[in-house]
A and B are shown apart, each in its own frame.
Chain A
Amino acid sequence: MTVFVEAKDVPTNLKQPLSNLLLSLADDEFILGYWDSEWTGVAPTLEEDVACSSIAQDEIGHARIFYQEVTALTGTPIDQLAYGRELPDYRQAQLVERHRGDWAFTIARQFLYETADLLRMESLSTSSYQPVAQAVAKIRREEVYHMMHVDIWFERLAQGTPTARQRLERALESLWPDALGLFEQFPDEDMLLQNGILTTSNAQLQQAWLASIAPDFARLHLAFPASPSSHSDVPGDVQYLPLITPRLGGRYGQHTQDFRVLWEQMTMVYRLDPQASW
């Protein structure tokens, strides 16, 4: 298997698929980071205010690493990537662009995202594209603290007061279609898999993810919209069949009103004068 050491090693036909992948990874963290930062000043407790702000800072840092790789590949300046694209040119999954909602919504969304991202980062750690493998080696170390934080809160809300429990359940019900959309097939995913840039398909990742969180949902008696079936070829291997329709489109530039609102705000300063030096 060819290892691509740096951007200039990437053959022309792989450049666009790779760039789209990197933008998806970057946009997921960037947009999520933005919504997390929206708790600054209004979080339920002072310590959570600090936690959300710090997590948001990490996420924007992760986005920056991926955007830098897009710059290395395409030459587009980093600020232009982050703030200068039109709405349909962003590639985040719709899960991360939903407004932060109430605290239960934020925790539910974070739980679904972090558990999925854990597996995605693990699968990319052996990517044939070295800059990605190196980036995720760094990112995974920091994500451990994010996972720890959301685990604690997910438990606390699930086993909390009736109000906490209700809000969590309501949030999850609203978020599940988007969560399944995290595993929407990337454009040219086959090509990326063939070249080892992706080591696991989105379909496989989704299965691994559902299997990894099913026990938590069972233990906490939370609704789980996927049913296990043992119709697969491998004995003892359980396949999970989603019982609801995923909300797709994010990887292909289809976005929601929530993102339109966020995009207007976050790009406002840049769009005043894209040529300005700040």
Chain B
Amino acid sequence: MAETPQKPIDDQLNEQHIWKALKDVPDPELPAISVIDMGIVRRIDVDAERSHIRVEITPTFSGCPALLQIQQSILARLSSLATDVEVIVSMREPWTSDLLSEDARRKLHGVGIAPPPKVGRGRIIPMLISRPLTCPHCGSQQTVLENAFGPTPCRAIAYCNQCHQPFEQFKPI
């Protein structure tokens, strides 16, 4: 009778590796930016012995239509790494634009979307109208807010009087 070998604990199945793997999952609306950089992934729990991964995500904006797609993309990315993968949507901590990583802010700027100013933990005030916006194309503050609302829940529409180009402003929330 052959001895059943001890099943090696998969040394890829640890939390750090999962955080890294999820950097491959893009935000469907802003494909240059991962769900990690967006601050959408809030928590990862790994049970290596049971080959179980649990990921907690939170929506950026309640009306975001991409949430289901993000859930499915995360499931797809992790399905090869464990037997059992769970992706839960949690409202435990409301998403704030402060959760955007430095990388995310840089990438937004790169695609012509002005990143949001920091909001902090206090009351929300409509910062869009209380300070000048910076043009992501030319850096000027000779800008005007055209619309506090835009093509997606997270973006406002602005115009630069210096370089005469419109740009999108990520809304501080």
Q: Do A and B come from one complex?
A: yes
Interface residues, chain A, with chain B CB atoms under 8 Å away: 47, 50-51, 53-55, 57-62, 64-65, 131, 134-135, 137-142, 144-145, 148-149
Interchain CA distance A60-B61 in the complex, whole Å: 11
Do residues A50 and B150 form an inter-chain contact, with CB atoms below 8 A? yes
Kindly identify which residue among A59, A135, A140 contacts B91, using a CB–CB cutoff of 8 Å.
A135
Q: Which of A62, A65, A144, A149 has the most CB of B within 10 A?
A: A144
* Chain A residues whose CB sits within 8 angstroms of the CB of B26 once the complex forms: none
Contacts of A134 in B (CB 8 A): 91-92, 94
Closest B residue, CB atoms, query A54: B149
In the assembled complex, the Cα of A65 lies from the Cα of B147 at a distance in Å of 26
Contact status of A148 and B153, CB under 8 A, knowing A58-B62, A61-B62, A62-B62 = no
The interface stretch among B34-42, B123-131, B132-140 is: B123-131
Residue ID in chain B nearest A47 by CB atoms: B147
Report if A138-B91 is in contact (Cβ < 8 Å); known contacts: A51-B147, A57-B153, A61-B63. Answer: yes
Which of B95, B124, B157 interacts with A144 by CB under 8 Å?
Answer: B124
Question: Is B126 a contact partner of A60 (Cβ separation < 8 A)?
Answer: no
Q: Are B94 and A141 in contact (CB under 8 A)?
A: yes
| Complex CA distance for A141 and B173, rounded to whole angstroms | 6
Least Cβ distance of B129 to chain A in Å? 7
Q: Name the residue of chain B whose CB is nearest to the CB of A29.
A: B62
Interface centre among B63, B96, B171 (most CB of A within 10 A): B63
Interface residues of B in 7-33 (CB under 8 A from A): none
Name which of A62, A137, A141, A148 has the most chain B CB atoms within 10 A of its CB.
A141
Contact-residue bracket for chain B: 20 to 34
Please determine whether A54 and B171 come into contact, CB atoms closer than 8 angstroms.
no
CB within 8 Å for A145 and B126 given contacts A51-B147, A58-B153: yes
Given A50-B157, A51-B149, A57 and B129 touching (CB < 8 A)?
Answer: no
Q: How far is the CB of B173 from chain A (nearest CB, A)?
A: 5
Q: Which of B146, B148, B171 has the most CB of A within 10 A?
A: B148
A45's nearest neighbour on chain B, judged by CB, is B147
Residues on B with beta carbons closer than 8 Å to the beta carbon of A140: 124
**Contact between chains at B62 and A137 (CB < 8 Å):** no
Neighbouring A residues of B96 by C-beta, 8 Å: 141
Contact status of A138 and B153, CB under 8 A, knowing A47-B147, A51-B148, A149-B148: no
Is B76 part of the binding interface, using a Cβ–Cβ cutoff of 8 Å? no
- Interface bits B72-103 vs A (CB < 8 Å: 1, else 0): 00000000000000000001101110000000
Establish whether residues B149 and A61, one from each chain, have CB atoms under 8 Å apart when the complex forms.
no
Interface residues in B157-173 by Cβ distance below 8 A to A read: 157, 171, 173
Chain A residues with CB under 8 Å of B124's CB are 140-141, 144
A262 → chain B closest CB, angstroms: 19
Q: What separation, in Å, do the CA atoms of A137 and B96 have in the docked complex?
A: 11
B111 close to chain A: CB less than 8 A: no
Contact yes or no, B95 A55, CB < 8 A:
no
CA distance A50 to B145 in the complex (A): 14
| Contact, CB under 8 Å: A61 / B61 | yes
